[in-house]
Structure 1
Amino acid sequence: MQLVRTILVIVVFYYLIRFLSRVFGPMLIRYAAKKAQEKYQGPYRGNTAYNNGQQRREGEVVIDKASGNTKENRTSSPGKKVGEYIDFEEVD
Structure 2
Amino acid sequence: MTFLKTILVILLVYFGLKFLIRLLTPYIMRYVAKKAGQKFEQAFGQNPMRSEPQKEGKVTIDKKPPSTRRTKETVGEYVDFEEIKE
* Count of residue pairs brought into register by the alignment: 57
Shift of 1:61: 4.1
Q: 1:33 is matched with which residue?
A: 33
- Look up the match of 2:24: 24
- The higher-RCO structure (CA 8 Å, 6+ apart) is 1
Long gaps (5+) in structure 2? 63-86
TM-score normalised by length of structure 2: 0.54
Q: Sequence identity of aligned pairs in percent?
A: 35
CA distance in 1, matches of 2:43, 2:32: 19
Which entry has the higher C-alpha Rg, 1 or 2? 2
Query: TM-score, with normalisation over the residues of structure 1?
Result: 0.51
1:1-92 matches, within 5 Å, as: 1-47=1-47, 49=50, 60-61=60-61
* SS of equivalent to 1:42: helix
Segments of 4+ moved more than 3 angstroms:
none
Aligned to 2:68: none
